[in-house]
């Protein structure tokens, strides 16, 4: 983004954050610092605030909490999402979640986050989450509710549940937000159902992909109507 160091005045400090260390190789940076996960005590406290609404686990859940934290790998987002998902659940339900976590490799963060998505109680909540990942990040909450209610999704309740699960945020300007990892997880859920055929996907979020599908004679009429509604709601125009 910044072209070269010469763009900046003497004494400037440029901090780059990335999940791809390849971008930092060569002589592009002076120092590389690998971020570490939260330590056990910090992880337990953060997790507890979401799972129990207090700074430490309830007595019957101490060992279970430590196991969840260990599988989350000190990643704050995973601790928040898993803690919010487990809030008010019984011991047997915690053990079921732990069994799922044990089977997921440590480096597959999205799969761990997906446990909370899979645990949403009905399809309208899942559909609302996927719509937000594709179309409505940064959009006004009330506008999104109005649009999705028109699609029969009961969005006011759905968004409330997603916020409670730490899958979606609402800022002080009433705009919807979402962590990049959760956004990528939602879009991968959609992409994985039809990796090669764009017209078979339930949603498209790149403008070029939308135009490509709409130009084909085989596209479903219901898909065209949905795309036009979404793009109109976002202030975009499509010329066919």
The alpha carbon of 103 is separated from its chain's Cα centroid by a whole number of angstroms, namely 21
With CA atoms as reference, report the closest residue to 144 among 156, 152, 133, 134.
156
Q: Any residues with CB less than 8 A from the CB of 227 and at least 6 apart, and which?
A: 204, 210, 213, 214, 238
What b/e sequence results for 115-131 when a residue is b if at least 16 CB atoms lie within 10 Å of its CB, and e otherwise? bbbebbeeebbbbbbbb
More confident residue, 212 or 61: 61
With CA atoms as reference, report the closest residue to 120 among 146, 71, 153, 76.
153
The alpha carbon of 82 is separated from its chain's Cα centroid by a whole number of angstroms, namely 13
Q: Which helix (H) or strand (E) holds 97?
A: helix 91-102
With CA atoms as reference, report the closest residue to 163 among 179, 152, 146.
179
**Is the confidence at residue 238, as pLDDT, over 50?**
no
Q: Any residues with CB less than 8 A from the CB of 194 and at least 6 apart, and which?
A: 200, 201
pLDDT in tens, 28-84: 788 888 887 789 999 999 999 999 999 999 999 999 999 999 998 888 999 999 999
- Architecture in CATH for domain 123-181: Orthogonal Bundle (1.10)
- Note the pLDDT of residue 207: 80
- Note the pLDDT of residue 218: 59
| pTM score of the predicted model | 0.78
Q: Any residues with CB less than 8 A from the CB of 54 and at least 6 apart, and which?
A: 48
- In whole angstroms, how far apart are CA 178 and each of 19, 151, 173, 174, 223? 17, 22, 15, 13, 25
Mean pLDDT of the chain: 86
**Is the confidence at residue 210, as pLDDT, over 50?**
yes
**How many whole angstroms separate alpha carbon 129 and alpha carbon 125?**
6
pLDDT in tens, 143-187: 999 999 988 888 999 999 999 999 999 999 999 999 999 999 999
Is the sign of the CA dihedral 142, 147, 150, 151 positive or negative?
A: negative
CA angle 48, 87, 120 (to 5 degrees): 135
């Amino acid at each position: 983004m910044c072209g070269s160091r010469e763009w900046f005045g003497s004494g400037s400090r440029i901090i780059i954050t990335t999940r791809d260390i390849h971008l930092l190789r060569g002589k592009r940076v002076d120092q590389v610092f690998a971020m570490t996960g939260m330590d056990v005590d910090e992880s337990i406290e953060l997790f507890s605030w979401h799972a129990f609404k207090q700074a430490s686990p309830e007595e019957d859940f101490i060992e279970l909490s430590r196991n969840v934290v260990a599988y989350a790998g000190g990643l704050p987002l995973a601790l928040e999402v898993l803690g919010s998902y487990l809030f008010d659940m019984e011991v047997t339900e915690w053990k079921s979640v732990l069994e799922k976590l044990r089977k997921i490799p440590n480096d597959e963060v999205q799969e761990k986050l997906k446990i909370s998505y899979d645990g949403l109680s009905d399809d309208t909540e899942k559909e609302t989450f996927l719509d937000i990942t594709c179309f409505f990040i940064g959009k006004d909450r009330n506008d999104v509710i109005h649009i999705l209610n028109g699609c029969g999704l009961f969005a006011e309740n759905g968004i409330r549940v997603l916020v409670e699960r730490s899958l979606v945020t609402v800022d002080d300007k009433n705009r919807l937000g979402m962590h990049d990892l959760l956004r990528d997880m939602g879009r991968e859920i959609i992409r994985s159902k039809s990796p090669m055929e764009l017209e078979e996907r339930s949603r498209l979020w790149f403008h070029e992909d939308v135009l490509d599908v709409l130009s084909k004679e085989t596209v479903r009429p219901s898909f065209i109507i949905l795309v036009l509604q979404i793009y109109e709601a976002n202030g975009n125009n499509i010329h066919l």
